[in-house]
Structure formats: C-alpha cells, structure tokens
C-alpha cells in the first residue's frame, strides 16, 4: 500500500522519550534493564551488579587514548602515543612499468591504468602465505585535481575520459612492510585493477532477464565494469564485496527529448550526467537514448575474489539494486547469511538480504549470495520494528523485477523512509547492528523521488536533519533472520554549544569535546569498539562551529561514550577502515582532501591534493583495535 504524503508530527517530548531518554537495552526480546539515565553519561561504576555483568559479558572498549581536540589543519592528527604515514595515494603506480605520479599533468590514461585510482573509499585486508593484500574501492574522481591541467578542469578529450574511467573501480594491491612501513609491492601477482570496462558476470534472479539485455550483451548475463564503488563488505568465505552507489550520474542522453521512465526518475537517471565526466560522449554504453537497459546492469553489490586475480567479478543481483553504501555480512544462528544494506539517498530505505542456503564451515559457500530474499525495515515509534519481505505477493513484481527496481518494490510495502542510510556495522560481541543515518535536508520537507512521505518519526526525529544520527537494532531472539527487532538511537548527533536543550543539541553522549556531524563510515574493531567516520560540513561555522574538519571517533556500544581519535586534512572525508592481521596497523581512507582546492595533502611533493590510504600505529608497538 502507498503511504500517505501527509507528514506526521511527533511531539518533541515523545521523540526524546522514545529515541533518547528511555535507554532500553533489549535482549532475547525482553528488557533486561531500563533505568532512565542508564549509560550514556555514566561509567561502569554507576551500574547495578546485574548491569555490570551484562556490560562485561559484551566486551567494553579496550583501547585507551586521550581524546584529541578538533582542528582545521591540512594534515592528519592522531592522539599522543600514535603515529601515521601515507601508504599510497591516487596515481601511485602498482606496476614497475608505470611512472611515478606527475604533479604537472596528473597523469594520462596509460599511467592511470597502471596506478591506484582516485577517491579511495571502503577497503579490506586479505592474506595468503603471509602476504597482505588490500582491496580498495575508488569511488569517483575529483575533476579539479584529475584535470587541473585543463582550462575547463574537466575531461576534454578521449584520453582524459579514459583516464577518469581508469581511476574508478577497485584496486587490489599487495602491501609489504619496509622500514617498518607498509608500502606497495609493485608487480605483485595479486595487483589488479577492476574498472569501468572489466567483464562481470550477472548472477541471481535478474540474470538473463529482458531488462538486463543490451545490444552488446543480448544474453543479459555479462556486463562490463563497476563504478562509484562506495563502501564494502567481506564474506566469511574470504571474498570482497564492493558496493555500487551513485551509478546513475554517469549516464546521459544524446536525445534531449527522451522521455524518462518512472524507474529512471526514481534512480536519478537524467538527460545530463552529474559530474560532467563525458563518458556518454565517447562510449555509447552510457548514452541512455541508445542503450536504455544499460543502467539496469549497475547499482549492485559485486563479489570479487582478491586472491584469485583471474576470477570474474560477480554482480549479486539478489542483494537488490539501489545506491548501495556497504554490505555488512553476518552468519545468523540458523546458518543463513544475512547481509545488511543501506540505500544512501534522502528518504530511501534500509534493507537486509537473507540467503536461501546455509553457511557451511568446510563446504562451498561461493554462491550463497546468488539466491535469497530481500526485506526492508520498518521502524515503529515504540522502539520495535519489522523487516517487511519484498516478494511477488507483497509487491506485485516478479523476483527479477524486485532485484532490478528494488526501490519501487520497497515503496509498495509500509517501510520507513530514512535519513540516508550509510554504513551498517554489526557488533561482533552480540546480535546488535548499527547504521549511520548521515543527514537529510528533505526530512519532513519533501517526499523521496518515488513520492513516499518523509514524516518526522522516532528514528528520524528532526525536520531538515543537518547532523545525522546512529540507530541500532537488536534482532528478536538474537536471530538475524527474525523479522522482528527492537531499536534505539546510539547517538543523536548535534551541536550542544550552538543549540541548547533541543533536538539539535544532540543526545547526552555528544559534547563540546567530541562534536561532529554527518556520521557515515561505521566499523567495529575486533574488541567491539565502534569506529565512526564523518562526511560532513567542515566550515567550522554556524551550526557546525567547533566541529572542524572531518574526523574519526571511537564509540563504546556499552557505555555510549564517544571520543575523537583522528582529524583529517582540509576538505576531506574520512572513509574506509581496516586492520593488518596483527592488528598493529589500522588503515584509514582520506578521501577527496581539498575537494574545493584548499589542500595539498599528503603534501610531500607538490600542491595537488591526492586521496590516500594512511596507516595508523601505536608508538609502543601495541595493537590498535
Ligand atoms: Fe559513497 Fe553514501 O557514501
Ligand atoms: Ca559514505
Ligand atoms: Ca556521505
Ligand atoms: Ca564519499
């Protein structure tokens, strides 16, 4: 059924009560403790013995550091006792045939094909025979840096366009420690670039469907490439999941009078591209007037085997098509694989996939993501929720259509429109899952692109939400396949210095010492610490005064405490996080430093800023997460 477009108002007190004050921590579907002032601002000493046992039982944060102040410097800042260095930056060659980055030209199509891509995002570590292999997404390109040698600061010819395409996708890079620092192993047999033209196999319910067939691939089973790869996931069987997010912005139409279908409109496919990459001008695959089904072949989660450079990446259509942020994989008690998935757009939805098959520790799990069921989340104002199944019966669409036009399927059930679901992270210590709802200027202002209302409610409690919030849910019966859950807000992000005692000042665990906005990346470390990365406003003024540059913080899921650990350089976003096998090095992504031209990070040779992977270590040689 279609939701009403009338925005519902939830009283301030009720929202605060539901979302913030009543700290209901649910387990096994029952409230185990519910003191009104529990945890956000209290330490373990304030807990009753029963609460303390629950606290210890679920592994509190173990990492200790002194919180750092915010800043607007053009560097990476970490706490006392920690150090950092740059592991690799956009344009660094992965093969000895490639040239070192040329700051004057920023390279060309050939040099970029042999080098690390731009705008690194989600990443993960894989190992074999003691080797360290990093798989990293290269989400998009910064035209200002990529084409700084062109008057237009845009791609001006075919070589420029191919250079941009080669800077997108996934880079797989072997790293080794030299002089105590991780660095690229040039010419490693594992080094690989998966880009916009790499052959992919289409798997799952949409494989060979009419909507997947193109002139180039009349079978609808083999597509080319992946792009706008945002967050990631890792499977228990050792593969990498890369998530296609704003895939729409690369298509354009040579026919400016082409009628845009409701499906194109819902996914933001227009006559013009979003960032003037000019792909459609030189490659007719990206011209929707000539190839109207090509956009149906992107917007998926792609499974890659980083340890088998010859393996063809697989588009997993069973996980749905939308602006995928990341893919958080858990093994449910039942043995089914559950993948939690956010669709990062204002007023879109939060999903989960449940595999048909079950995980087997010693069996072949390689195609578990080929078949399963999709669900979309409904958050009730009373802190309960349900996963609504997207089936032919509930949507009136075929299974293939549900997987291709997932957003339209989700609009047919009574799900909750969200404030831009970004990364999802599952607590390794208990069945509890977190999602960063980054911000939503349209909340209670206008509906999503499908016309679904975006009223204020307990999980999205602020009109024109500027700051974002982090929601967490606990599946009923501690079982990730259960359709029922309970939820609460881990943090309602705000500015307690600019706003006093209202929803914009944020929850109690947001203070003048740890202020930030727009939580985006979320990852748990092996000790159960929740790392929060931001992609927000860095003006440090007005509503954002005191927040400084984008940053990374560590949250304690048990106490609610949040401490600032890292501040990034100017005009960057912090995104992507993984650890070396010995947990002594934490790899962090610095994306688009100087996106408006005001940075020279990492600043070692010239003044073009370059997205980079940096390594963080403890000076005492200890582990870090
Ligand atoms: Fe690529 Fe939603 O961040
Ligand atoms: Ca993101
Ligand atoms: Ca973001
Ligand atoms: Ca980004």
How far is 590 from 599, CA to CA, in rounded Å? 12
Average pLDDT value for the chain: 91
pLDDT tens, residue by residue, 555-571? 999 999 999 999 999 99
Model confidence at 18: pLDDT above 90: no
Q: How many whole angstroms from 242 Cα to the centroid of ligand 4?
A: 14
User: Does residue 542 contact residue 495 with C-beta atoms inside 8 Å?
Assistant: no
Using the atom order of ligand 1, give the atom closest to the CA of residue 344: 2
pLDDT for 501: 86
**C-alpha separations of 201 from 145, 224, 228, 248 in Å:** 33, 9, 18, 20
Domain range spanning residue 156? 17-245+299-618
Tokens read off for 562: 């949040």
pLDDT tens, residue by residue, 42-97? 222 233 333 433 443 344 456 689 999 999 999 999 999 999 999 999 999 999 99
Using the atom order of ligand 1, give the atom closest to the CA of residue 246: 1
In the chain, % of residues over pLDDT 90: 88
Ligand 1 neighbourhood includes 230 CB (under 6 angstroms): yes
pLDDT tens, residue by residue, 585-602? 999 999 999 999 999 999
Model confidence at 281: pLDDT above 50: yes
Q: Is residue 480 part of a domain?
A: yes
Q: How many angstroms separate the first and last alpha carbons of the chain? A: 45
Q: Are strands 169-178 and 192-194 parallel, antiparallel or unpaired?
A: antiparallel
Ligand 1 neighbourhood includes 422 CB (under 6 angstroms): yes
How far is 129 from 410, CA to CA, in rounded Å? 44
Residue ID of nearest Cα to ligand 1 atom 1: 230
Model confidence at 462: pLDDT above 50: yes
Model confidence at 409: pLDDT above 50: yes
The DSSP result for 571-620, as a single string, is T-EEEEEEE-TTSSEEEEEEE-TTTTS---TT-SSSSS---EEEEEEETT
pLDDT for 605: 59
C-alpha angle 173-127-94 in degrees, rounded to nearest 5: 10
pLDDT for 33: 24
| Helix-strand-coil split of the chain, %, nearest 5 | 15, 30, 55
How far is 54 from 47, CA to CA, in rounded Å? 10
- Counting ligands in written order, the one closest to the CA of 141 is 4
Q: Is residue 272 part of a domain?
A: no
Using the atom order of ligand 1, give the atom closest to the CA of residue 325: 2
User: Does residue 485 contact residue 387 with C-beta atoms inside 8 Å?
Assistant: yes
Ligand 1 neighbourhood includes 303 CB (under 6 angstroms): no
Model confidence at 6: pLDDT above 60: no
Using the atom order of ligand 1, give the atom closest to the CA of residue 228: 1
C-alpha angle 531-534-540 in degrees, rounded to nearest 5: 130
Ligand 1 neighbourhood includes 344 CB (under 6 angstroms): yes
Q: Which residues contact 528 (CB under 8 A, 6 or more apart)?
A: 58, 59, 60, 61, 427, 428, 429, 557
Average pLDDT over residues 393-405: 98
* CATH number where 432 lies: 2.120.10.30
Give the residue among 202, 208, 225 at the shortest CA–CA distance from 286: 225
Q: How many whole angstroms from 231 Cα to the centroid of ligand 3?
A: 10
Ligand 1 neighbourhood includes 345 CB (under 6 angstroms): no
C-alpha angle 588-592-594 in degrees, rounded to nearest 5: 120
Per DSSP, the three-state class of 547 is coil
Q: Is residue 283 part of a domain?
A: no
Q: Which residues contact 624 (CB under 8 A, 6 or more apart)?
A: 63, 82, 579, 583, 584, 585, 586, 616, 617, 618
Q: Is residue 165 part of a domain?
A: yes
Q: Is residue 8 part of a domain?
A: no
Domain count, the chain: 1
How far is 612 from 512, CA to CA, in rounded Å? 29
Average pLDDT over residues 303-327: 98
Q: How many whole angstroms from 325 Cα to the centroid of ligand 2?
A: 6
Model confidence at 612: pLDDT above 50: yes
Ligand 1 neighbourhood includes 245 CB (under 6 angstroms): yes
Q: Is residue 7 part of a domain?
A: no
Using the atom order of ligand 1, give the atom closest to the CA of residue 231: 1
pLDDT tens, residue by residue, 510-539? 999 999 999 999 999 999 999 999 999 999
Give the strand order in the sheet containing 612-618. 82-89, 612-618, 585-591, 573-579
pLDDT for 327: 99
pLDDT for 64: 82
Q: How many whole angstroms from 535 Cα to the centroid of ligand 3?
A: 5
Ligand 1 neighbourhood includes 118 CB (under 6 angstroms): no
Q: Is residue 275 part of a domain?
A: no
How far is 497 from 510, CA to CA, in rounded Å? 10
pLDDT tens, residue by residue, 320-337? 999 999 999 999 999 999
Q: Is residue 285 part of a domain?
A: no
pLDDT tens, residue by residue, 107-128? 999 999 999 999 999 999 999 9
Tokens read off for 210: 């009419």
* Residue ranges in 391-447 assigned as alpha helix (H): 392-395, 399-404, 406-410
- Counting ligands in written order, the one closest to the CA of 342 is 1
In the chain, % of residues over pLDDT 70: 89
Model confidence at 282: pLDDT above 60: yes
pLDDT for 603: 87
């Amino acid at each position: 059924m279609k939701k009403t477009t009338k925005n519902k108002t939830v009283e301030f007190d009720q929202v605060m009560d539901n979302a913030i004050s009543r700290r209901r921590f649910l387990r096994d579907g029952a409230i185990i403790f519910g003191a009104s002032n529990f945890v956000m601002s209290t330490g373990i000493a304030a807990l009753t013995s029963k609460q303390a046992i629950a606290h210890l039982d679920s592994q509190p944060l173990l990492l200790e550091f002194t919180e750092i102040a915010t800043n607007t410097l053009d560097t990476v800042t970490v706490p006392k006792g920690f150090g950092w260095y740059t592991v690799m930056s956009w344009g660094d060659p992965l093969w000895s045939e490639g040239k070192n980055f040329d700051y004057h030209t920023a390279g060309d199509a050939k040099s970029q094909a042999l080098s690390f891509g731009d705008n690194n995002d989600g990443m993960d570590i894989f190992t074999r025979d003691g080797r360290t292999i990093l798989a990293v997404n290269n989400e998009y390109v910064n035209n200002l840096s990529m084409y700084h040698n062109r008057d237009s600061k845009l791609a001006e010819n075919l070589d420029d366009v191919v250079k941009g395409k080669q800077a997108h996708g996934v880079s797989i890079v072997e790293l080794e420690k030299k002089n105590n620092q991780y660095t690229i192993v040039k010419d490693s047999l594992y080094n690989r670039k998966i880009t916009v033209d790499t052959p992919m196999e289409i798997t799952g319910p949409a494989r060979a469907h009419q909507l997947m067939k193109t002139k180039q691939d009349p079978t609808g089973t083999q597509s080319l490439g992946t792009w706008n790869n945002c967050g990631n996931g890792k499977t228990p069987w050792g593969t990498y999941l890369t998530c296609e997010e704003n895939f729409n912005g690369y298509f354009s139409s040579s026919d400016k009078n082409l009628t845009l279908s409701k499906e194109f409109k819902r996914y933001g496919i227009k006559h013009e591209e979003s960032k003037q990459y000019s792909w459609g001008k030189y490659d007719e695959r990206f011209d929707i007037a000539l190839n109207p089904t090509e956009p149906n072949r992107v917007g998926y989660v792609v499974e890659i085997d980083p340890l088998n450079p010859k393996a063809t990446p697989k588009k997993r259509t069973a996980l749905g098509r939308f602006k995928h942020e990341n893919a958080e994989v858990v093994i449910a008690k039942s043995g089914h694989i559950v993948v939690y998935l956010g669709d990062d757009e204002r007023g879109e939805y939060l999903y989960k996939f449940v595999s048909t098959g079950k995980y087997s520790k010693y069996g072949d799990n390689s195609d578990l993501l080929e078949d399963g069921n999709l669900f979309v989340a409904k958050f009730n104002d009373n802190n309960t929720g349900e996963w609504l199944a997207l089936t032919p019966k509930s949507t009136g669409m075929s299974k293939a259509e549900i997987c291709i036009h997932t957003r339209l399927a989700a609009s047919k059930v009574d799900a909750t429109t969200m404030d831009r679901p970004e990364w999802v992270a599952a607590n390794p210590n208990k069945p509890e899952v977190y999602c960063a709802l980054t911000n939503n200027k349209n909340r209670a202002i206008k509906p999503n692109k499908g016309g679904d209302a975006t009223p204020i409610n307990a999980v999205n409690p602020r009109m024109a939400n500027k700051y974002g919030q982090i929601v967490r849910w606990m599946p009923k019966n501690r079982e990730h396949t259960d359709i029922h859950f309970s939820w609460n807000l881990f943090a309602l992000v705000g500015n307690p210095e600019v706003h006093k005692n209202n929803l914009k000042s944020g929850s109690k665990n947001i203070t003048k010492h740890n202020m930030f906005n727009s939580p985006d990346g979320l990852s748990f470390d092996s000790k159960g610490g929740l790392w929060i990365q931001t992609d927000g406003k860095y003006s440090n003024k007005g509503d954002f005064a005191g927040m400084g540059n984008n940053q990374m913080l560590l949250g304690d899921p048990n106490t609610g405490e949040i401490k600032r650990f890292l501040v990034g350089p100017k005009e960057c976003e912090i995104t992507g996080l993984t650890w070396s096998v010995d947990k002594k090095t934490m790899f962090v992504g610095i994306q688009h430093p100087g996106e408006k031209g005001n940075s020279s990070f990492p600043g070692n040779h010239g003044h073009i800023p370059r997205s980079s992977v940096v390594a963080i270590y403890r000076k005492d040689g200890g582990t870090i997460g």
